[in-house]
Amino acid sequence: MLAGLLFATADASDRHDTLAATLPIGGVTLIEFQARLLIAAGASQMVVVVSRLTPELLGAVNRMGRRGVAVDTVRGPAEAIAKLHPLARVIWLADGLVTTGGVVEAMRDREGDTLLVSPEAEGLERIGPGVMWAGVATIDPQRIADVAKLPSDYDFASSLLRVVAQRGAAQLALPEAAVRDGHGIQRDLQALVTKGRAALIAALGKRTNWVDRFLIAPLAKIALPPLVARGVPALMLAATGIVAGIGGLAALVLGWPAPGLAVVVAAVALFALADVLAWLRDERRLIATVRWAIPVTVGAATLLLGRKTGLDAGTATAPLLALGAVVAGALAERAAGSAQRQLWWATPAAYPLILLPAAIAGQPLIGLAAVAGYAVATLAHAIERLRSRIGT
């Protein structure tokens, strides 16, 4: 069992009577952002150490509980150890920490007590000569029980760090890439905006398909900061994507393949941006809707292109290729959902990027053949990965 230990005790440095944990980061509070990273890593319980329960913190805790995990608020180590399962592995994130899913997952995979450490200039609190704690630790619940035996006026977080370090915890160096991706302690609103933006872009850039990593992530790096700053709803982006998708499909019906596919590509980009904003703001129903909208729009566009190409050529080759591409693509998505995805594997968003250049060049049949072959190759590789995993 994996549990998360979060702290909401420190005040923001630039806002009176506001907890740093409740500062906003792209539409949610910082502590909700931390909880989301832990839940994505497999945590099924959150223990939140509080000094006072502000309305903002109460709202954040309630929203965290809606994600299907147990959330308990405590005021000290004795209450914390009473809430934690004795066999749980605990990932502790420091108060005010912004980090990435990659860092949390790396700490999740550590067997024993482990402290994430960094050079002195970049850390939170010194734990040795020239070594500072970087805000993440994997600990045994017994360490919290050890702190509970200390005098009650000792600071919980500082005492826990001392106990873990003195018990010989392993040290894992903070990757330089994590610092570039926004890892750090931030209790200032303006600095948090910058760190949070970097962490968000990094989360998108770490997705395991080449379209998101090399095309959508650079686009998001440009588009998301003004969208987040202006509070643009993810629903608005999704609705615009639906309108664009319908327009693109209408253009394909009217026999304009290149313009139609160009608009479909724009619709897919809007859906992808809406997906990221919805993920950040925890709009799970919208996420599900958007993730269905992309394959539906792309599948319809592929079939319409095949129909138009087949009518122009007077053969059934193009429609059959389009149908085969849609079927193979759908099966590939099903198979890929149960296997470890490879960077090169096809995704629905990749297909119009292949079809558009072919349509512009006046060779839609070649584009359909390439898409069908790409989908089949992905399906075959996903099946082989699944077979190797189950040993058949």
Q: If DSSP states are collapsed to H, E and C, what string results for 17-55?
A: CCEHHHCEECCEEHHHHHHHHHHHCCCCEEEEEECCCCH
Query: For residue 123, what pLDDT is reported?
Result: 58
Q: Can you give the pLDDT of all 392 residues of the chain as single tens digits?
A: 899 999 999 988 877 788 999 988 866 889 998 998 999 899 999 999 999 999 999 999 998 998 889 999 999 999 999 999 888 999 999 998 988 888 999 999 898 899 999 886 555 788 878 889 999 999 999 999 999 999 988 999 999 999 999 999 999 999 887 877 778 887 887 777 666 666 666 666 556 688 888 888 788 778 877 887 777 888 999 999 999 999 999 999 999 999 999 999 999 999 988 988 887 777 878 988 998 999 999 999 999 999 999 999 999 999 999 999 999 999 999 888 756 678 899 999 999 999 999 999 999 999 999 999 999 999 999 888 887 776 65
For the CA atoms of 162, 166, 168, 169, the dihedral, rounded to the nearest 10 degrees, stands at 0
β 131-139/45-50 pair status? unpaired
Phi first, then psi: what are they for 106, rounded to 5°?
Answer: -65, -40
Query: Closest by alpha carbon to 305, among 245, 367, 244, 246?
Result: 367
Residue 311 CB contacts under 8 Å (≥ 6 apart), including other chains:
none
Query: For residue 183, what pLDDT is reported?
Result: 83
Residue 18 CB contacts under 8 Å (≥ 6 apart), including other chains:
11, 12, 54, 56
> Measured at the alpha carbon of residue 207, what is the angle toward residues 355 and 372, in degrees to the nearest 5?
25
Q: Where are the alpha helices (DSSP H) in the chain?
A: 30-40, 55-65, 77-83, 101-108, 141-148, 156-166, 176-180, 189-205, 210-211, 217-229, 234-253, 257-280, 284-313, 317-336, 351-360, 364-390
Q: Tell whether the torsion through CA atoms of 210, 214, 215 and 220 is positive or negative.
A: positive
**What dotted CATH number matches 226-390?**
1.20.120.1760
Q: Which two tokens stand for residue 190?
A: 């303006």
β 2-8/89-93 pair status? parallel
Is there a contact between 352 and 264 (Cβ–Cβ < 8 Å)? yes
Is there a contact between 96 and 185 (Cβ–Cβ < 8 Å)? yes
Indicate the class that CATH gives domain 2-194.
alpha beta
Question: Cα(340)–Cα(24) distance, rounded to whole angstroms?
Answer: 33
β 125-128/89-93 pair status? unpaired
For the full predicted model, state whether its pTM sits above 0.85. Answer: no
Boundaries of every domain in the chain: 2-194, 226-390
Question: Cα(211)–Cα(349) distance, rounded to whole angstroms?
Answer: 7
